[in-house]
């Protein structure tokens, strides 16, 4: 591929030594947990996969070989309470965002996810348990260059008060802000990259959150049956109801960044560009990917090189 950025050297100029290789798991690893919305126990196994196969989900509770759904933005079928994937045959895999975020943060390109039900287990409501599983399984480099999606020109979407955009940058980073009036959340903002251990240290432990009146309404409607103070931060007015409190002063916006990373990894490859979200959720994040891929001049495939791994700046936050 030619030189798409005036200050970027071509492969010939830099040689091949800085090319980043694809990665997969070294060995399979299993976990069990409760599904957040169905409340049912589910078993999940993360397995190695061949180079260039991407991330795929396989429903082991369904018969036949057709119960496979690719982790792709095109397959997003529901974004109301989580990000759910589906196919034309009605196979559904829900609440994929935390696991996808962990795979992105750990640099896993190829994996097969076997799951015994229609929803990924919520674990503690963060991505940290999945990072732990990946580290326990081990990570191996594969004999294939890592492909990236390089952002060439700005793309943005709006959805009411929410907005999300991608602009060209030399590496992947995120700006995010949230605003909630009259609650313990209020206004929080953060700027962060996910490489060099930043994802594990600064983002992976941030838990999903909700407001007590919303949680009670979901329970009354038969939803969020697996939700509890063990797997979510629950806010009532100015008070956090979890006995242990928050893991970060701004855990709420950190979790929204975690969600965005997982949603954006459904692009099918790491993005090289800068994301900016304001009150953005799963629906807006998916709309952004759809807008990106609808504009063929806004992106291109490229080979990842070491310079693409550098976080653009240290974590910055404002509360």
Q: In the structure encoding, which two tokens stand for residue 314, read together? A: 């240290």
Q: What is the pLDDT of residues 233-258, one digit of tens each?
A: 999 988 999 999 999 999 999 999 99
**Stretch (H or E) spanning 84:** strand 84-86
Residue 66 confidence (pLDDT): 64
- For the chain, give every domain's residue range: 20-318
How far is C-alpha 152 from the chain's CA centre?
Answer: 22
Residue 221 confidence (pLDDT): 76
Of the CATH numbers 3.90.25.10, 3.30.1700.10, 3.20.20.150, 3.40.50.1970, which one belongs to the domain with range 20-318? 3.30.1700.10
DSSP string, 91-102: -EEB--HHHHHH
- SS3 call for 252: helix
Q: Distance between CA 265 and CA 148 in Å, rounded?
A: 11
Cβ–Cβ < 8 Å for 22, 52: yes
Which stretches of the chain score pLDDT less than 70?
1-15, 64-66, 310-319
Positions marked active-site: 282
Residue 1 confidence (pLDDT): 33
Residue 109 confidence (pLDDT): 98
- Please state, as a whole number, how many other Cβ atoms lie within 10 Å of the Cβ of residue 166: 28
- Three-class secondary structure assignment of 109-160: CEEEEEECCCECECCCCCCHHHHHHHHHHCEEEEEEECEEEEECCCEEEEEC
Residue 121 confidence (pLDDT): 97
Cβ–Cβ < 8 Å for 278, 163: yes
Q: What is the pLDDT of residues 110-154, one digit of tens each?
A: 999 999 999 999 999 999 999 999 999 999 999 999 999 999 999
Cβ–Cβ < 8 Å for 47, 236: no
Angle (nearest 5°) at CA 250 between 248 and 251: 60
Residue 315 confidence (pLDDT): 56
How far is C-alpha 261 from the chain's CA centre?
Answer: 4
Q: In the structure encoding, which two tokens stand for residue 173, read together? A: 């980073």
Q: In the structure encoding, which two tokens stand for residue 117, read together? A: 């039900």
């Amino acid at each position: 591929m030619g030189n798409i950025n005036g200050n970027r050297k071509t492969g010939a100029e830099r040689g091949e030594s800085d090319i980043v290789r694809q990665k997969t798991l070294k060995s399979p690893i299993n976990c069990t947990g409760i599904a957040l919305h169905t409340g049912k126990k589910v078993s999940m196994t993360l397995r190695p996969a061949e180079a260039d196969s991407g991330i795929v989900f396989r429903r082991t509770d369904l018969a036949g070989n057709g119960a496979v759904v690719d982790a792709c933005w095109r397959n997003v079928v529901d974004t109301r309470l989580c990000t759910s994937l589906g196919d034309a045959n009605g196979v559904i895999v829900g609440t994929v965002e935390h696991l996808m975020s962990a795979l992105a943060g750990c640099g896993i390109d190829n994996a097969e996810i076997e799951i015994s039900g229609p929803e990924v287990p919520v674990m503690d409501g963060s991505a940290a348990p999945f990072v732990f599983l990946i580290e326990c399984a081990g990570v191996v480099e594969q004999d294939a260059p890592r492909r990236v999606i390089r952002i060439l020109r700005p793309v943005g979407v709006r959805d009411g008060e929410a907005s999300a955009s991608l602009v060209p940058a030399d590496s992947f980073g995120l700006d995010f802000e949230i605003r909630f009036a009259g609650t313990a959340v209020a206004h929080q903002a953060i700027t962060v990259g996910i490489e060099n251990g930043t994802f594990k240290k600064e983002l992976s432990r941030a838990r999903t959150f909700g407001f007590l009146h919303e949680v009670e309404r979901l329970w009354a409607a038969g939803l969020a049956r697996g939700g509890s103070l063990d797997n979510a931060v629950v806010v009532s007015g100015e008070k956090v109801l979890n006995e242990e409190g928050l893991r970060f002063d701004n855990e709420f916006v950190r979790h929204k960044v975690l969600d965005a990373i997982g949603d954006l990894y459904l692009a099918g490859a790491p993005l090289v560009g800068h994301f900016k979200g304001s009150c953005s959720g799963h629906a807006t994040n998916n709309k952004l990917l759809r807008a990106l891929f609808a504009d063929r001049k806004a992106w291109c495939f490229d080979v990842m090189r070491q310079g693409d791994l550098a976080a653009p700046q240290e974590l910055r936050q404002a509360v």
